[in-house]
Structure 1
């Protein structure tokens, strides 16, 4: 039986901007590991994989929730397909985080030059807003009505 989300992994060309972005949302670096072949690479089906594996943990989350960043060496080329923020494409669509104050969190992200992708929307007893995250992923903030 599933208990709760544990982590999401995002492949990035440069971990620095991704670490900075997720820090704005309360994630802190937990640990960094270097994958240079070996068991982790075989587990992922890439026996020759070389990457930095950076775990960011959401402060105060119980149970713990992590964003795991993979910075491959060498950096893979850009996907020639649809831009990741195109919510009509198949596959991964967006990552959503629950917040207690959507307006304050939006102001915090905008002040840090994060790109807003939508106006605020009220939908099924919650306020929603989309932002562009690292590597062009779409991040949604959700404030649920009490």
Structure 2
């Protein structure tokens, strides 16, 4: 087998501060911030000259990371912030939470809004989608029945 693990998922945002605060409220921990630039970075991404500010957020279990990126150069070229869940390409990230109702209250206070409604999937999960900062689509799941 060649796959060892998934290191992180990247999300491009216009402003890092509000996105960091939002994901910290969700329960991710800021692992670090950095500026990425130079010839090597442009060769990896295929963008050439680039100047990007990133923040790496870590899940409480330490197994997953979310890389938030703010491109200074080159400018952002597409905006999928209002795309529906059936649009092509990356669209959402899903998090399991311990208390969905409380999580929704806290994130709503930070500007999130429910996309549809909270639904129950069998006796396994309560699920919903929210729009977070900059329209990011985020799935939330609470395990039910001691799953």
Per the normalisation by structure 1, the TM-score is 0.84
SS at match of 1:73: strand
Q: State the alpha-carbon separation in 2 of the partners of residues 121 and 78 from structure 1.
A: 35
Post-superposition offset of 1:118: 2.0
Contact preservation (8 Å) 1:94, 1:138:
yes
Contact preservation (8 Å) 2:51, 2:74:
no
Contact preservation (8 Å) 1:93, 1:138:
yes
Count of residues paired in the alignment: 143
SS at match of 2:142: strand
Distance 1:127 1:4, change over 3 A: farther
Contact preservation (8 Å) 1:85, 1:132:
no
Q: State the alpha-carbon separation in 2 of the partners of residues 21 and 106 from structure 1.
A: 12
Query: 2:33 aligns to what?
Result: 32
Tell me the alpha carbon deviations over residues 38-78 of structure 1, each in whole angstroms, 9 at most, x when there is no partner.
Answer: 323311222211111221222x3133x21111111147356
Query: 1:109 aligns to what?
Result: 107
Distance 1:143 1:4, change over 3 A: farther
The 5 A counterparts of 1:1-146 are 1=1, 2=3, 4-58=5-59, 60-63=60-63, 65-74=64-73, 76-77=75-76, 79=78, 83-124=81-122, 125-145=124-144, 146=146
Unaligned runs of 5+ in 1: none
Which runs of structure 1 show a deviation greater than 6 angstroms over 4 or more consecutive aligned residues? none
Report the RMSD for the aligned CA atoms in angstroms.
Answer: 2.2
Unaligned runs of 5+ in 2: none
Distance 1:98 1:66, change over 3 A: same
SS at match of 2:91: coil
Post-superposition offset of 1:13: 1.1
Per the normalisation by structure 2, the TM-score is 0.83
Q: State the alpha-carbon separation in 1 of the partners of residues 101 and 7 from structure 2.
A: 27
SS at match of 2:101: helix
